Every structure is written in C-alpha cells, then in structure tokens.
Amino acid sequence: MDSTQLLKGVLDTAVLAVLDNGRTYGYDLVRQLRSAGFEGVGDASVYGTLRRLFNGGYLASEIVPSEEGPARKYYGINGAGRDMLANSKKTWTEFTSSMDALLEGGEEE
C-alpha cells in the first residue's frame, strides 16, 4: 500500500493535529510532519492544504516580521479547526478500529 496516497487522504487531519500543538509557519510545519514519520508528504501539498483549511475558516494566521529574512505567516488552529480535528479523530478511530478488526479477522482465517 502506498502510504503517500494514504497521507493525502488524512493530510488535513495531520496538519490540524500539528497546529493544535502550537502555531507555526509553513516550512516548520513541513519539518514537523516529516519528523512525525510522514516523509512522503510534498511541500506543495502541505501549502495547498494550509490554503484550503485557511479559506475554509479552520485556521487563523498572523504575519510576524523577521529580522533574518522575509516576514513569516504563522498559522494557528481556531475553534472551528478544533471542532474539525475532533470529528476527524473520531472518524479516524472508528475507521482504524474497523480496519484493524477486519485485518485481524482475515489473519485468523
């Protein structure tokens, strides 16, 4: 199974989960996702997901000037984003439980 395809399906949840730990900017968000084990995630996909979540009203943003380079836009999760994350967690838990049960049942057979 190609994990990249799996990740694309849950990238929204992964991004929200990272931001739920604290606001950050795009480059660091990609770094955190890769550190969490999602090596195959594309940078452009992360930025596209950020844009889609932001336009959907799930994220807040703040531009922070930097003395070392261009200003960085920090993204943070807002109330709507937390609601979405909670629903996604519930869905993921149910999905993985079902999948685990299915796979274990298949193994027994």
Partner 1 sequence: MKLTLSPAKAKYLERVAAGLADLSGEDRDDVIQDLEAHLVELEDDQMVRTLGDAEEFVTEFRASAGLTDRDSPPDVSRLMVVRARLGNWGQRLSSMTNWGTIRPVWVWTRGWLLIAGLAVLSQSTPFQHFPIPTIEGSLLGLLLVAGATYLSVALDRGRTPVRQFSSVVFSAAAVVIMLTGVVAGPPLSSSGHGEIADGAMLQPGQLIGADGGEVTNIYAFDREGNSVEVLLFDQNGNPLQSLPAWVYEEAERNPGFDEPFEVGPFAVRFARDEFGRPVTNLYPLTTLQFGADGWMPLPPPQLGFPRVGGGPSGEDAITNDGAIVTTTSMPELEGLSD
**Chain residues in the site for partner 1 (CB under 8 A):** 8, 11, 25-27, 30, 42-52, 54-57, 59-73, 78, 80
Residue placing its CB nearer to partner 1 in the complex, 67 or 108? 67
Would you state the structure tokens that stand for residue 92, as one six-digit string? 């993921």
Residue 63 or residue 102: which is nearer to partner 1 going by CB? Answer: 63
Question: Cβ of residue 48: shortest distance to partner 1, in angstroms?
Answer: 3
Distances in whole angstroms, Cα of residue 109 to Cα of each of 68, 88, 101? 60, 31, 12
Question: Min. distance of Cβ 54 from partner 1 in angstroms?
Answer: 6
d(CA 74, CA 80): 17
CB of 76 to partner 1, least distance (A): 11
**Contact criterion met (CB below 8 Å) for 6 and 82:** no
- CB-nearer residue toward partner 1: 39 or 100: 39
Q: Which is nearer to partner 1, 48 or 97 (CB)?
A: 48
- Other beta carbons less than 10 A from residue 44's beta carbon: 9
Give me the amino acid identity at 41: V
